[in-house]
Amino acid sequence: MEPGEEIGLRVDQTLTQDATGTLVMQELEALGLDRVRTQVSVQYVDHNLLQADERNAEDHVFLRSAARRFGLWYSKPGNGVSHPTHMQRFGVPGRTLAGSDSHTCAAGSLGMLAVGVGGLEVALAMAGRPLHLRMPHIWGVRLTGELPPWVSAKDVILELLRRHGVQGGVDRILEYHGPGLAGLTAMDRHVIANMGAELGATTTVFPADEAVRDFLRAEGRERDFTEITAGPGAGYDLEEEIDLSALEPLIARPTSPGNVVPVREAAGEPVSQCVVGSSANPGLRDFAITAAMVKGRQTAPGVSFDVNPTSREILQDLTRMGATFDLIAAGARIHQAGCLGCIGMGQAPAAGRNSLRTFPRNFPGRSGTEEDAVWLCSPETAAASALTGAVTDPRDWAAEAGMEPPDLALPERASVNTAALEPPPPQEEAVRVELERGPNISALPGFGPLPATLEGPVLLKAGDNVSTDEISPAGAKALPYRSNIPRLAEFTFTRLDPEYPRRAAELGAAHFVVGGDNYGQGSSREHAAITPRHLGLRVVAARSFARIHWQNLANFGVLALEFDDPADWERIDPGDRLRLEHLDAALAPDAPPVLQLRNTTKGEEYAVHHRLSPRQRATVLAGGVIPRIAAEAEPPARE
């Protein structure tokens, strides 16, 4: 397992959610799978909960039928966000988990090896195939000290983002260790592990220690506990230390999780919305501290104070504590358990007005508002700011209000509720289940092989840190078409260039896209590879790629190339015609990973390279994973 080399992992569990799961189920069908071969696979409905018309509801019906057909658990709408709910009901220390959601890494809080990947990778894992990854470096992060009052787990991960930015964890697994762990609960660790995705990390791992045992005991699952900790003298490829006692409340300014500053530096900025919830702050403690701060008080005029419970269980516990009443009395808008505003499904803020959220991402337009101004912060900072109407350090608010840190007295036993979890039926019943498709669910498009010579125009040139939200938007307008690739393709790149879909359709032939650094960061949604491919994209040439999107491009037959000289990016203009020759030879298993990209418009050539394994080279040449597997399954031609 040398860093940079491709490895294959056996997958014990899988996680899919509704924004990506419909494609996964169609991929299972295309692969001809009869029943999943993992220990546990779960389909959650947590993203597209708004049923403004029939489309989302039809997808929910389809997902339930597919879960029954292929042998998955099904988590009904409103049961909870996939990551904390999976942690509560299915997470087991030492197991591997592959999820079609980039925040699957949150399960590392239980000592799992949990990796977010594209949906096709998850479908292959369900079919019993290995999960292929580039072996990462192991980044040991030693925690010392204790968190001060009004500072919480969100500030720990924001501190790492402040130090390293959104590319700091690329090709790394973060492993937390040290005496500071003793003060962090399993749900605190979930907050930190979840947003490792924002660092670009492959995943995050915490030890399975007494904090994990306590969590599983509260969930009635202590029998699933196994202690897993680092051995004496464990070594790491890279090392870092965070003194928890030295941290202060932090906040990420618009429009990047890496744009982090102390809250006091932003204090006084007017606020019109504060939202508490999401997979990045999902624990009962996060809602309870918010309720304790607003108890007996009213949120500021003009501020929408939104609370998104992350699971039905947490909402029950919050209500049992009396905290739900305190939130409602203070002016909170209580929403159903789900992702909601985190992916732009409702709760869109007013244009240009500051929205403080305990969410993991604040990419441009992700909120559902094009001219949004989203800030990322802890529940303490969100609650203090909701009460004052401006960005406020919770320490300063507490001093002014004369409030000591509250004793939250969380229940020792969770209100376990499995009524909204449907187990898979027996195999003999499952084989008789018919997939229920609404008219908005299309078939997967068929993609042809990569030609030996490829020439076409640059239809779009993008800058650094382009997210998958900007390639294939989320939000209430686009996401209802997530199962209808031709219709969803009409939204492709429209946040960067509203005319891209029209020009691609009119061209009706292969074309190129040129990108900057960290191209494709953010969500794992493979739609960001499929819809441009549907419109004719065959090559993306960039300075560098985000891990999951790079894998997704190869999975659907798009060649990802990186400039040897990053300055060559500046020499290419939109509309230039680019040409690649002898691709069949260049992508042969033993061929060197170097190519010449010719700009026929300007008479220039640029040295480029790829990072594809032999397996991925064959995939791209075949036009994608499914065509490659289909070709492998065909009987040899008779002579």
pLDDT in tens, 18-65: 999 999 999 999 999 999 999 999 999 999 888 888 889 999 999 999
Pull the structure tokens for residue 341: 């505003």
632 in Cβ contact with 604 (< 8 Å): no
258 in Cβ contact with 376 (< 8 Å): no
Neighbours of 274 (CB within 10 A): 31
Q: Residue 274: enclosing H or E segment and its boundaries?
A: strand 273-277
Expressed in angstroms, the distance from the first to the final Cα of the chain is 42
Q: Residue 19: enclosing H or E segment and its boundaries?
A: helix 18-31
Q: Cα torsion at 248, 381, 179, 139 (round to 10°)?
A: -80
Question: What is the phi-psi region of residue 51: left when phi exceeds 0, alpha when psi lies from -120 to 50, beta otherwise?
Answer: beta
**Is residue 639 over pLDDT 50?**
no
301 in Cβ contact with 271 (< 8 Å): no
**What single DSSP character describes residue 39?**
S
**Is residue 143 over pLDDT 60?**
yes
Give the pLDDT of residue 591. Answer: 97
Domain residue extents for the chain: 250-401, 454-633
Give CA–CA dist 197/59, Å, rounded: 27
483 in Cβ contact with 56 (< 8 Å): no
Give the pLDDT of residue 479. Answer: 84
Q: Which residue has the higher pLDDT, 484 or 633?
A: 484
220 in Cβ contact with 383 (< 8 Å): no
Please give the order of strands across the beta sheet that includes 333-334.
260-262, 250-252, 373-376, 354-357, 273-277, 304-308, 333-334
Pull the structure tokens for residue 510: 């292969």
Cis before 255? omega within 30: yes
**Is residue 97 over pLDDT 90?**
yes
Position 635 confidence tier, pLDDT thresholds 50, 70, 90: low
The mean of the pLDDT values for the chain is 95
Distances (CA, A) of 227 to 85, 105, 107, 111, 188: 21, 19, 15, 9, 18
Best CATH choice for the domain 454-633 from the list 3.30.160.100, 3.40.80.10, 3.50.50.60, 3.20.19.10: 3.20.19.10
Give CA–CA dist 350/347, Å, rounded: 9
626 in Cβ contact with 633 (< 8 Å): no
**Is residue 638 over pLDDT 70?**
no
The structure's pTM equals 0.94
Give the pLDDT of residue 53. Answer: 85
Give the pLDDT of residue 45. Answer: 97
Give CA–CA dist 217/210, Å, rounded: 10
Write the CATH number of the domain with boundaries 250-401.
3.30.499.10
Give the pLDDT of residue 64. Answer: 98
Give CA–CA dist 71/171, Å, rounded: 33
The residues pairing with 273 across neighbouring beta strands, listed in sequence order, are: 304, 355
Mean pLDDT in residue range 281-287 = 97
- Coil, helix or strand for 588? coil
pLDDT for 333-361, tens place per residue?
A: 999 999 999 998 899 999 999 999 999 99
pLDDT for 101-120, tens place per residue?
A: 999 999 999 999 999 999 99
Candidate from 54-58, 381-385, 391-395, 505-509 with smallest mean pLDDT? 54-58
